């Protein structure tokens, strides 16, 4: 049985959309409706001329391009192996259309076979943090190794001297292939000589395609070379420094060429590596991503899930250098080893990003490593060869090297098994226990390899992780079983394409994933145990919710406290579950909505709600005078008491997932109002209450005149707009 893997983004909230449509009777949805063409607000950086699309077949892409009125498929990622399918495309938009308007144009349009459409999020070039000066100390073999304070605090020398398997084999990363997803690397550097196999240039900076070993693919950039040396600079060769895994094999996966990179480029590089695009049968088991950005991109999440689930790959990702409590991606995806930075005093580095998704920390301040040979010291006219810089970009390859030491002896260990070995052997350098600044602690290489030795000796076991699938649907009030009754028991449920699914344990959000076109959120390589499952994101009334995702949002704060949402139930994750047999929860979500209009000054106001009428396939403004289609009004208050009047609309527990441009609009019909009347709106959705007002009233105006532009989202950024 084929399994299509989609990992999408979502955002819960309730869209009470936005424009003056005019009229008080039925309205037919049309592409000309302003709600259908309003550009999508994209708050994360992205490529403005492109969108990323997940699809079922080529015909679906053709349908999408037709819907957009033009565009072309620039690149594809297609995977169909081991009963798993994955299809994504990069769409180049016509010159008359940018990403915001393209996604706005798709608003309310459900294109058959399209699983998601999103911006192609960008990731800035990871600028290093300037380093302070350190005096050289000298060393016998690798002459600069004594300047590696980072190795000293991680007890690297003791680790390298450990007989791990009882047969004299010491840890150096032998046999482990590490993909460096970064700028191109200077493969001619003398301390990286012999470290490389064929790589892949996904951006067209050096070769566009296979990067042969032993060339300088850095193209004037320094970042990837510095990262590569931290992982695997050759040891005991009389040159400079040693990497954490000084005999690991490196694969240069080039995704930067000056400026920024993007989700599709990164996913393409990983995909090329995991599918052995050059046919040499060499595939990485560890990937280093010293990069990040604000957009939650499902194409990148999906590729990383595939590599973890099908190949046991481990992804080590930088938390970021913002110094803030926030989530950047891909560090925020479930199953990832997210790395923070520490300094020489074993404290959290001031620039290191914090958050509940962090795994471990590693030295990231004043880290000495390899430097491209084209960088010339003007005082000597010779290459620098080595340089100190700082950042979580430098902490991340320390952990990648540590993972390579584990994979050398436990090649089949999963991402979760490796992560727990790192976490349980780390030195607790922050507040006692886990903390969002340093995670489970700063990596200790000696303790790590000792733990691996215990596993090999049969004295200990690794901790198995879990894979979970949560499918979220809503009741379908269409007559899909043709029994003449809308919303009967036989009518097929509607998958919710745009919700965050939170796994909560001990009152804290442990993981968040996003649902796809099938309503499924996939959690790969997460901790087993009992969880409460909460959803937060686009409301179920948004039938085509994928067009409205605030893509950078996640449903937890820096301390792991859950944001607002709706609890679906509980889920037990069992050790050893996988993509082919995940622990599953299927749940039906029905959001709640209550709107109260209160006014003073006398006169007869009417709370108006724009609802979808199934038999006529149109829209109608409902009031207490007319009655409601999908809810109920408390009664028609005619304002006889000038000091206090109110009307309330309550949405039914099961309500119609509105198609096309039909979102729930909230308005005020002031046809019979008197001068001097002021009003307030109080809206409670899924237990969250917001109030707006005072709202000045113009007597004689109708619901169409006063249609408020309201976007309500259950997020933690308090971005409920002002009513105007």
Mean pLDDT, residues 561-575 taken together: 85
Mean pLDDT, residues 174-200 taken together: 97
Res 390: pLDDT: 95
Res 292: pLDDT: 94
pLDDT at 313 over 90: yes
Mean pLDDT, residues 698-703 taken together: 89
Helix axes 415-425, 445-456, angle to 10 degrees: 120
Res 16: pLDDT: 28
> Among 352, 339, 324, 360, which Cα is nearest to 288's?
339
* DSSP string over 39-88: PP---S-EEEEEEEEEESSHHHHHHHHHHHT--EEEEEEEEEETTEEEEE
- How far is the C-alpha of 466 from the C-alpha of 416, rounded, in Å? 8
pLDDT at 719 over 60: no
Reported in sequence order, the residue ranges of 97-162 that DSSP labels E, i.e. its strands, are: 114-123
Res 653: pLDDT: 64
- How far is the C-alpha of 29 from the C-alpha of 51, rounded, in Å? 25
pLDDT at 190 over 70: yes
- How far is the C-alpha of 662 from the C-alpha of 68, rounded, in Å? 19
Higher pLDDT, 308 or 109: 308
Ranges of H-type helices in 334-391 = none
Percent of the chain topping pLDDT 70: 83
pLDDT at 164 over 80: yes
pLDDT at 409 over 60: yes
What the block records as the tokens of 478 is 């269409």
pLDDT at 186 over 60: yes
Which residues are identified as catalytic? 182, 223, 393
Q: How confident is the model at residue 137 (pLDDT cuts 50, 70, 90)?
A: very low
What the block records as the tokens of 284 is 């990485």
Q: How confident is the model at residue 474 (pLDDT cuts 50, 70, 90)?
A: confident
Mean pLDDT, residues 544-570 taken together: 64
Res 645: pLDDT: 94
> Among 228, 225, 185, 227, which Cα is nearest to 205's?
185
- CA distances to 235, 381, 490, 613, 654 from 483, rounded to whole Å, are 74, 84, 8, 18, 19
- How far is the C-alpha of 272 from the C-alpha of 291, rounded, in Å? 19
- How far is the C-alpha of 471 from the C-alpha of 229, rounded, in Å? 43
pLDDT at 117 over 70: yes
Q: How confident is the model at residue 492 (pLDDT cuts 50, 70, 90)?
A: confident
Peptide bond into 211 cis (omega under 30): no
Give the chain's mean pLDDT: 84
pLDDT at 36 over 70: no
Higher pLDDT, 461 or 556: 461
Res 283: pLDDT: 98
Among the residue ranges 334-348, 476-490, 589-603, the one predicted with the least confidence is 476-490
pLDDT at 407 over 70: yes
The top-scoring range by mean pLDDT among 331-345, 589-603, 644-658 is 331-345
Percent of the chain topping pLDDT 90: 60
Mean pLDDT, residues 610-623 taken together: 82
- Please provide residue 460's backbone torsions phi and psi, each rounded to the nearest 5 degrees: -155, 165
Mean pLDDT, residues 248-253 taken together: 98
Q: How confident is the model at residue 126 (pLDDT cuts 50, 70, 90)?
A: confident
pLDDT at 496 over 70: yes
């Amino acid at each position: 049985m084929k399994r299509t893997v989609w990992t999408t983004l979502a955002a819960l909230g309730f869209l009470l959309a936005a424009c003056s449509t005019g009229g008080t009777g039925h309205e037919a949805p049309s592409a000309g409706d302003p709600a259908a063409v309003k550009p999508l607000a994209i708050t994360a950086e992205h490529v403005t001329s492109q969108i990323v699309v997940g699809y079922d077949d080529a015909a679906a892409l053709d349908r999408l391009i037709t819907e957009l009125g033009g565009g072309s498929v620039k690149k594809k990622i297609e995977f169909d192996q081991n009963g798993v399918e994955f299809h994504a495309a990069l769409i180049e938009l016509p010159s008359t259309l940018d990403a915001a308007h393209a996604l706005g144009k798709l608003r309310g349009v459900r294109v058959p076979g399209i699983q998601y459409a999103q911006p192609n999020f960008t990731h800035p070039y990871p600028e290093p943090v300037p380093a302070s000066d350190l005096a050289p100390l000298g060393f016998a073999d690798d002459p600069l190794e004594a300047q590696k304070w980072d190795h000293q605090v991680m007890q690297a020398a003791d680790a390298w001297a450990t007989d791990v398997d009882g047969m004299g084999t010491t840890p150096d990363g032998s046999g482990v292939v590490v993909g460096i997803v970064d700028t191109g690397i200077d493969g001619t550097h003398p301390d990286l000589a012999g470290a490389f196999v064929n790589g892949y240039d996904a951006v067209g900076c050096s070769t566009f395609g296979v990067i042969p070993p032993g060339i300088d693919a850095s193209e004037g950039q320094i970042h990837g070379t510095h990262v590569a040396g931290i992982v695997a600079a050759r040891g005991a060769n009389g040159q400079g420094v040693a990497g954490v895994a000084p005999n690991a094999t490196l694969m240069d996966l080039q995704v930067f060429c000056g400026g920024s990179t993007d989700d599709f480029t990164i996913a393409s590089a990983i995909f090329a590596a995991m599918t052995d695009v050059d046919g040499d049968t060499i595939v990485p088991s560890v990937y280093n991503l010293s990069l990040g950005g604000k957009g939650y991109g499902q194409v990148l999440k999906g590729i990383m899930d595939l590599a973890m689930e099908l190949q046991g790959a481990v992804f080590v990702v930088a938390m970021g250098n913002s110094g803030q409590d926030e989530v950047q991606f891909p560090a925020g995806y479930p199953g990832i080893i997210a790395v923070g930075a520490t300094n020489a005093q074993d404290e959290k580095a001031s620039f290191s990003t914090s958050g509940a998704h962090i795994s471990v920390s590693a030295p990231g301040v004043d880290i000495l490593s390899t430097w491209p040979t084209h960088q010339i010291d003007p005082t000597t006219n010779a290459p620098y060869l080595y340089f100190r810089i700082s950042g979580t970009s430098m902490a991340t390859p320390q952990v990648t090297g540590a993972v390579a030491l584990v994979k050398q002896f436990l090649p089949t260990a999963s991402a979760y098994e490796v992560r727990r070995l790192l976490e349980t052997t780390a030195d607790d350098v922050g507040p006692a226990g886990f903390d969002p600044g340093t995670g489970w602690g700063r990596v200790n290489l000696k303790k790590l390899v000792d733990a691996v030795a215990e596993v090999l000796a049969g004295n200990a076991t690794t901790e198995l992780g879990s894979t979970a699938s949560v499918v979220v649907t809503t009741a379908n009030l269409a007559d899909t079983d043709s029994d003449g009754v809308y919303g009967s028991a036989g009518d097929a449920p509607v998958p919710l394409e745009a919700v965050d699914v939170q796994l909560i344990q001990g009152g804290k959000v442990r993981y968040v994933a996003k649902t796809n076109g099938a309503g499924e959120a996939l959690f790969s390589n997460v901790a087993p145990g009992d969880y409460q499952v909460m959803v937060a994101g686009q409301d179920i009334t948004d039938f085509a919710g994928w067009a409205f995702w605030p893509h950078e949002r996640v449903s937890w704060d820096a301390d792991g406290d859950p944001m607002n949402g709706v609890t679906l139930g509980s889920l037990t994750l069992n050790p050893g579950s996988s993509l082919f047999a995940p622990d599953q929860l299927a749940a039906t979500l029905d959001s709640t909505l209550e709107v109260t209009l209160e006014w003073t000054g006398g006169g007869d106001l009417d709370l108006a709600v724009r609802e979808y009428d199934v038999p006529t396939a149109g829209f109608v403004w409902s009031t207490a005078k007319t009655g409601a289609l999908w809810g109920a009004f408390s009664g028609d208050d005619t304002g006889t008491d000038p000091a206090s009047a109110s009307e309330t609309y309550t949405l039914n527990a099961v309500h119609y997932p509105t198609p096309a441009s039909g979102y729930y609009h909230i308005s005020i019909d002031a046809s019979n109002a008197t001068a001097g009347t002021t009003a307030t709106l109080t809206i409670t959705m899924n237990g969250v209450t917001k109030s707006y007002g005072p709202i000045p009233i113009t007597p004689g105006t109708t619901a169409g005149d006063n249609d408020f532009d309201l976007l309500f989202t259950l997020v933690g950024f308090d971005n409920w707009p002002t009513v105007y």
